[in-house]
Amino acid sequence: MAKQVTLSQEKSVTPTKPRTRVAAAQSTYYSLVEGARPVAGERLHSHTQAVFEFMGLTKKAWSRPKLETLMGKRAVSYHIGQENMAGDEEKVSLTPKGSGHFGKRLTAKTYDAGLTAAFLAAIQSGTESTKYGIRKANLVAHTS
């Protein structure tokens, strides 16, 4: 006589941990006060490059308020008017024209790598640079 075997239809269930949302840690960044931001030439290009590095060059859209804090409202409005950037009150992104415009600066090396690094350090941690004329008194802390 053949032996009859019964297979269990129960599924193996692995217990999962309940998902909890962790609030994003707030981070501090620094901007230059109005009047201390560069307005032309190598200093402007170096500052812009530092802002783009800080904001994340690969992001599709940036926070417009944060970008305006770093670059100035007039600069952001200018680049939107020139169609280098597009967006709304919350987000801004580079247009294809803007990618070309700012890309040319990289190719032509119209910025100074040391100055860009100094601006980036100032934005990230409020570090002043006497060598490059970035004064702590001209930096304002912000939380995001």
Is 124 domain-assigned?
yes
Nearest to 75 by CA among 51, 99, 54: 51
How many domains does the chain fold into? Answer: 1
Determine what percent of the chain is predicted with pLDDT higher than 70.
83
Determine the pLDDT at residue 69.
97
Is 22 domain-assigned?
no
Cα separation, 98 vs 81, whole angstroms: 11
Cα separation, 86 vs 64, whole angstroms: 10
Is 19 domain-assigned?
no
DSSP string, 16-40: -PPP-PPPPPP-EEEEEPTTTS--S
3-state secondary structure of 132: coil
CATH of the domain at 97: 1.10.10
Residue type at position 30: Y
Is 51 domain-assigned?
yes
Is 82 domain-assigned?
yes
Is 86 domain-assigned?
yes
Determine what percent of the chain is predicted with pLDDT higher than 90.
76
Kindly indicate the confidence band of residue 3, based on its pLDDT and cuts at 50, 70 and 90: low
CA 74 to the chain's CA centroid: 18
CA 42 to the chain's CA centroid: 21
Domain hosting residue 74, numbered range: 28-143
Residue pLDDT, tens place only, 38-70:
999 999 999 999 999 999 977 889 999 999 999
Residue pLDDT, tens place only, 68-79:
999 999 999 999
Is 70 domain-assigned?
yes
Q: What is the pTM of this model?
A: 0.80
Determine the pLDDT at residue 59.
83
Is 45 domain-assigned?
yes
